[in-house]
Chain A
Amino acid sequence: MNKIFKYELRRLLWNKFFIGLLLINGLYAWFVLTGDIIAGVAYTAPFSPWSFGAYLAKTMPITVLTVLFLLTFYYAKKEKRVEVLTGATPVNPVRYSLVRSGAIATAFLILVALLLGLSLYFYASILDYWHVTPFILPALLVLPPCLIFALGAGHLAGRLHVGLLYVLMLAVLLVGFGGIGGAFDPFGGGYFSVYPLSLPAGADGDPAFTLSAGFLIARAVYLGVGGGLFLMGIGAARKKATTA
């Protein structure tokens, strides 16, 4: 399986599309940092957990789009033709599916590492801010639900029809840049930018990073639904292998 993982990883990462998308992610993240986050969201510091959460949330649509795009590699017509051969091998289809998802998750982590690296560089070089711990909680609230939901929904859409992955991408663009706001904002950008305005200012003038129950529930729902969809996808893979 290690070998397959390495192969899948190489296939995903070592191609011009991923490198191009990595560049686009980086470029966009830098624009967000220097254009939006530098001012701070909701009158908070640019390095407040609110601003950092907003930064991650604003960059997530492009990152999720990249993940969905990488998923199209697995559900393209050519790939489906090859499936006949891979299905004939003694590889456990569930494990194979997990390995492939692991490769996608690794790609996501590489993208996230780039986003985090850029933000830390931005904070250190421009604002002389060197702390990391305030960013852990917003990162945990934004990143895992986005990844799991994208993987779950993407796998399911891809299994139904590869075209649905593009519909999903369009939906990500609309939701991501249309601005849903509120606790159920899938990426959380609207929430991080608006919710602190309703909170009392703390000792340093910024509101404390206290989140509403609604938002926490929403993140858990996205994580749970994403996980559920993902398991459904795995189940479908097992069923397909059994039927075959």
Chain B
Amino acid sequence: MKAFALYRVELRRLALSKFTWIAAGLSVCGPLFGYDMYVPSSTWVMTGKYIANPVLAGAVLWAVLSMLESDRIYRAKTDVLTDAVLSPDTLAASRMFAVMTLCAAVSLLTALVYLPYTMNKVGYLFELGLYAYSFLIVLLPTWWISILLAAALYQITRRIELAGLLYAVCVYFSFSQFFGNHYFTHWINPIILSYSDGFSNASPLRITLYTRFIWLAIAGGAFALSLLCMRRYQKNLLGSIARGVRKIYIPITAAALVSAGVFLWTGQPFVDHGPIEYDYEYRYRRDVGSSNTRVSSASYRLEPNVMAGRLKGRVTFDFTKYGEGEDWIAMNPGYTIAKMTVDGDDIPYKTLIGSEVNGERKTVFTLPPVSARRNLVVEYEGFPSSAKCFPLSVTTEISLEYISLINDGVGPFSTSFVPCASSTWELILPSGLTPVVDHVLLENPEDNHNGTKTWRTTIYRYGLPWILAADFDAITFEAAGTAVELIYAHKYDRNMREYGVSKAIADVMNYCTEHQGKLGFAKGKRLVMLQRSAMFGGGNAGDGWVEWSEDIFTQSNLSDPLKGASAMEVFAHEIIHEWWGGLGVVCGEYDDPFYAAWSDEGLTVYTTYRLMKEKYGELYAAQNYIDVWQAAVDKQNRGFYYRHPEYLAKLPEQYQAQLNSEARETNQYCRMPLMILKAERLVGGEAKFDEILQAIHRQYASTGQMFTYQDFLDACDLREEDVILEQDFQI
């Protein structure tokens, strides 16, 4: 019987089977688990809550069906008959394609069943394309992988219970914390940290599609390999394999598929191949020495390919070389240099493959030692990758709806040059995107009449700017006597107006101005508040700018009055950084070990607590702030490695880095706010402490002078031992 005819027979038989219908029915129910029980993706954004999580559930059921179907003829003891008329591997392959076809039909049915509900819940932010892609890219391939793997395990072991056990082990490892941060090891539960409602979902979809290809190839290869193991002529496993390999196309297919999976895995472009932990010392090693090269001007031209997610760039440095010395540039390891010329002539360069650290890779070259001004041009192109030390951080993305180019993702930079204090930028972007460069919304583009526009700007600082581009809207208003420009994705326009976001911002700014002083902006300068994609996560603040992840402005967040110590407070926290950090008082002490605790965060967290105390009451503030800080500090005090740092030094570096990072976070965000609170009590209460903070603000804000821990103690007229937390200090 021809394989296709056999496939049709199997498909018909499956379609008529009662068990298949039960399995299909249960599969359709699978996404229900994603609404509440299994929620690995961020639920702040509506598409995450109602699309991403539901499509991540339900694959195990298909594995059960797959194994039971593979076992059926042996259970019914009809294998002797079927083997007499059919090749067992042809039958197994036909059966598997039939199960996969049925699975595709059920996934389509599932998509249709949940469509009206999802459209209703996600509301005006719903996009049919994202919904369809989620089923096609996430749900269906994962179900297929599960089917293939389960069938392969059964066919290799020929024992349903053992295959089930091995399948359970595979599932366990996919879910286990051991493979926590690796996109590529999650075969049954692809990592989708978040979807975006207002920006683009290209990043999670691209990487999920890629991992699905990897695992489809591996599972397909395993299935092809298992066809060799089909028991025939009453032979055991090895004997059957010896017979099976005579059909040479089976081992070739298996090898090709597994090789394809391995090739895709090793050659993946999403995460670089640098060290797994962040190297805090790297920049000190990197920046050693001078090449005697002075750059007098730098101009960049960037042309993103939004469909392929790639960037094509060209940078021109006007330089003067004063003496001997090798130069280097570093950039995102996903980019490769296409050409490097000096005054039009190619020069040799060497990209140090394997030298990736902290998400950058060096290229070294030697410039001709002449004093006249010369012109170095570097052309580069590629798909930007994430640093392996922050594998889940999607800071760089190029897609049709959103472009985010941060740090090395923008292009090459070098500290071996003596840099110039400004650079010019030319961005060629699709017409629908408006760029924000270093938190400035660009204006007046030149239309290229080919669906793109050219945007030009100059930045007046050393280093590379942050470039974002999306369908941005902006509103300008005044808060606490300061001009505020709020830049957000056009899709959020309705939320911004309906929920009075500008008033919420003004409330925070008014509070801080009243209690801690006026923001010290230069005349005419705006405070820019920027909304970024949910992939970014959390918030950030700097010199005259604040940015938040979009999830703070989602409908579910803005409409929840109880969202206290969470997203809405991140929003307030980042604004408060304009008083403590950013353009306000910069707290720090870089050469002091105490720096680990004393930073902008301490006073910012304390001020957020005060704001929430005023807004929601003392009980709320105590429960959501003081108790949380105290619990974290207690936990740290009790920690074995905190009590015995001599053992910390014995741990592998990766683990040390993780513990140090946790300790730094506890010190900055919990221990120091608690110490500041103690200082507040010691100086005589909130009113007195506010006076001290106002005095500090008047003296230090916008001066560029570092406000040290000792300065803080002096301002409060306290000694270090006064504010140290004793074990029995409970507020």
Contact = CB atoms under 8 A, between A and B. Distances in A.
B178 A35 contact: yes
A205 B177 CA distance: 28
A46 B650 contact: no
A196 to B, nearest CB: 10
A31 B640 contact: no
Contacts of B162: 17, 69
B157 to A, nearest CB: 8
A45 interface: yes
Given A35-B178, A126-B652, A46 B165 contact: no
A35 B177 contact: yes
Interface string B640-662: 11011001001110010000000
Given A24-B169, A205-B643, A31 B176 contact: yes
B635 interface: yes
B161 interface: yes
Interface residues of A, number: 24
B640 A45 contact: yes
Nearest to B634: A43
A205 B640 contact: yes
A43 B169 contact: no
Nearest to A38: B655
A173 B172 CA distance: 11
A142 to B, nearest CB: 21
A43 B647 contact: no
Interface string B599-642: 00000000000000000000000000000000000010011110
B616 to A, nearest CB: 30
Given A43-B635, A43-B639, A45-B644, A65 B650 contact: no
B453 to A, nearest CB: 50
Nearest to A17: B162
Interface string A99-130: 00000000000000000000000000011100
A179 interface: no
B168 interface: yes
B168 A44 contact: no
Nearest to A35: B178
Q: Which size class do B's interface residues fall under?
A: 20 to 34
A72 interface: yes
Contacts of A65: 165
Given A38-B651, A128-B650, A44 B640 contact: yes
Interface string A38-59: 1110011110000000000000
Contacts of A127: 647, 650-651
Nearest to B655: A38
Contacts of A184: none
A135 to B, nearest CB: 17
Contacts of A166: 161, 164
Interface string B160-194: 01101100110010001110000000000000000
Contacts of B651: 38, 126-127
A160 B288 CA distance: 75
A43 B655 contact: no
A169 interface: yes
A83 B176 CA distance: 41
Contacts of B168: 173
Interface residues of chain A: helix, strand, loop or mixed (majority): helix
Interface string A205-221: 11000000000000000
Interface string B212-241: 000000000000000000000000000000
Contact of B650 (A39, A69, A126, A177): A126
Contacts of A177: 172
A38 B655 CA distance: 9
A53 B175 CA distance: 24
A201 B644 CA distance: 14
A65 B172 CA distance: 14
Considering residues B162, B168, B177, B640, which has the most beta carbons from chain A within 10 angstroms of its beta carbon? B640
A76 B643 CA distance: 54
Contacts of A40: 640-641
Contacts of B640: 39-40, 43-46, 205-206
Nearest to B635: A43
B240 to A, nearest CB: 14
A166 B159 CA distance: 12
A44 B651 CA distance: 16
Contacts of B165: 65, 69, 169
A177 B176 CA distance: 11
Contacts of A126: 650-652
A203 B521 CA distance: 55
Interface in A1-46: 17, 24, 31, 35, 38-40, 43-46
B168 to A, nearest CB: 7
Interface in A167-188: 169, 173, 177
Contacts of A206: 640
Contacts of A201: 638
Given A38-B651, A128-B650, A43 B638 contact: yes
A44 B650 CA distance: 16
A211 to B, nearest CB: 20
Nearest to B157: A17
Contacts of B650: 126-128
Contacts of A43: 635, 638-640
Contacts of B176: 31, 35
A71 to B, nearest CB: 12
A206 B643 CA distance: 10
B43 to A, nearest CB: 23
A43 B642 CA distance: 10
Nearest to B168: A173
Contacts of B647: 45, 127
Contacts of B161: 69, 72, 166, 169
Nearest to A69: B165
A126 B651 CA distance: 6
B60 to A, nearest CB: 13
8 contacts: A17-B162, A35-B177, A38-B651, A40-B640, A43-B638, A44-B640, A69-B165, A126-B652
Interface of A: 17, 24, 31, 35, 38-40, 43-46, 65, 69, 72, 126-128, 166, 169, 173, 177, 201, 205-206
- Nearest first, the 4 closest Cβ-Cβ pairs linking A and B are A43-B638, A40-B640, A205-B643, A31-B178
Interface of B: 161-162, 164-165, 168-169, 172, 176-178, 635, 638-641, 643-644, 647, 650-652, 655
Given A31-B176, A43-B638, A126-B650, 14 more contacts: A24-B169, A35-B176, A35-B177, A38-B651, A45-B644, A65-B165, A69-B162, A127-B650, A127-B651, A169-B165, A177-B172, A205-B638, A205-B643, A205-B644
